[in-house]
Chain A
């Protein structure tokens, strides 16, 4: 079996391939030359690569490839209705739909917008429940714009899903995307007059655990959090081994809902990895404690890993992957114990996703 990693960069998409040992990697690309690939993912239903692509001159769009990058098709219809007063600024994240929903995918973008396609990415329809959300005037852009960067589907409940928007917070739908409720209780927004508002939090990454879908994990501007009730309440988790609550990326182990990985940074005013090293922190106990993983990672280092730059695979011994702004891509074939630099000198890496093509 081959394992693949899609590395979206500021200058195109790269593809890495290995066997299930995940120790030796071959590199191909770049694909999508000229595009900044904010996120790329393989749709497990049909093997199509989907990419959220942006260019300073030609705007924001999506591309897809049904032949592993050999040829690409660009989205046709993708934009926001004129009466909203909004125009599409960036595409950020593509989430494949559920098994049985052929052709359906979700796309998050800036300014805090969500789209849905039912034709495999040719035409994208704005999701009014987010685009016209009644609280939108209270949303604020983060440093990266007002981006809808996280889209998480509950694998068991077909009408439930979540989005994370910076800085609007986490929203949950129970009706397939028609209506959305803020789900931020217990998450801090230290930059606002009310540090625990209903919404306005700067969520940096949100994930649902696939084996325990009521459990959500969140890396926020103001802390690392876990929720065990679908985002109704959040528990703050740092101060027990984590050097900082600030960071962007987040990864999970698909086998164990108590395991999570973060790569903290010094803070909002100094966005480099903590303590002069490129360290991954792992919890085995739901965030009660965290331990530092450094074997094979560079030190000293003052790195940065973007919010989409962290991923895990679905093999029995979960592989963990992250790409740094330095252009290095690191792989751990043993769930974080040891790390291999699988590629270096790539353009700044924006996104990493693991995939299997059988």
Chain B
């Protein structure tokens, strides 16, 4: 299964766990299965603009976005874009 790695703030919101292995066919399905999905997505279900998603190091926005299919061996890393002070 693909692995999702959370940054520290999301891990704190997930009860301390930073690594998840959701049963998912796409990146979007994997992220929506997280216990922090309502921080990753807004109330419309859109990925929040300052949340960056990398699959094996490649920004999904450069490809198929949340529809990016998963084979099962990928590492999905969520990274907060630099914002605020």
Would A61 and B43 be within 8 Å (CB), given that A55-B9, A56-B83 are in contact? no
Residue of A nearest to B43 (CB): A79
Q: Name the B residues within 8 Å of A57 (CB-CB).
A: 48, 50-51, 80-81, 83-84
Tell me, in angstroms, the Cα distance from A315 to B44 when the chains sit together.
45
Contact present for A82 and B44 (CB under 8 Å): yes
Contact present for A34 and B9 (CB under 8 Å): yes
Q: Name the A residues within 8 Å of B70 (CB-CB).
A: none
Q: Name the A residues within 8 Å of B33 (CB-CB).
A: none
Contact present for A76 and B38 (CB under 8 Å): yes
Tell me, in angstroms, the Cα distance from A63 to B74 when the chains sit together.
33
B39 interfacial by beta-carbon distance below 8 Å:
yes
A78 interfacial by beta-carbon distance below 8 Å:
yes
Chain A nearest Cβ from B23, distance in angstroms: 22
Would A34 and B12 be within 8 Å (CB), given that A56-B83, A57-B48, A57-B50 are in contact? yes
Interface contact tally, CB-CB below 8 A: 44
Contact present for B9 and A87 (CB under 8 Å): no
0 or 1 for each of A78-90: is its CB under 8 Å from B? (1 = yes): 1110100001100
0 or 1 for each of A45-56: is its CB under 8 Å from B? (1 = yes): 000000000011
Residue of A nearest to B8 (CB): A34
Tell me, in angstroms, the Cα distance from A61 to B81 when the chains sit together.
19
A33 interfacial by beta-carbon distance below 8 Å:
yes
B10 interfacial by beta-carbon distance below 8 Å:
yes
B64 interfacial by beta-carbon distance below 8 Å:
no
Question: Of the candidates B13, B44, B50, B84, which one forms a contact with A74 in the assembled complex, judged by CB atoms under 8 Å apart?
Answer: B13
Tell me, in angstroms, the Cα distance from A58 to B38 when the chains sit together.
8
Contact present for A87 and B12 (CB under 8 Å): no
Contact present for B9 and A61 (CB under 8 Å): no
Would A61 and B44 be within 8 Å (CB), given that A56-B50, A74-B13 are in contact? no
Chosen A-B contacts, 18 in total, with CB atoms closer than 8 Å, are A34-B9, A55-B9, A55-B39, A56-B83, A56-B84, A57-B48, A57-B50, A57-B84, A58-B9, A58-B10, A58-B40, A59-B42, A74-B13, A74-B38, A78-B38, A79-B42, A79-B44, A88-B43
B residues with a Cβ closer than 8 A to A are 9-10, 12-13, 38-40, 42-44, 48, 50-51, 80-81, 83-84
Given contact pairs A56-B84, A59-B39, A76-B38, a sample of 20 additional A-B residue pairs in the complex whose CB atoms are under 8 Å apart: A33-B9, A33-B12, A55-B9, A56-B50, A57-B51, A57-B80, A57-B83, A58-B9, A58-B10, A58-B39, A58-B40, A59-B48, A61-B38, A61-B39, A74-B39, A78-B43, A80-B43, A82-B44, A87-B42, A88-B42
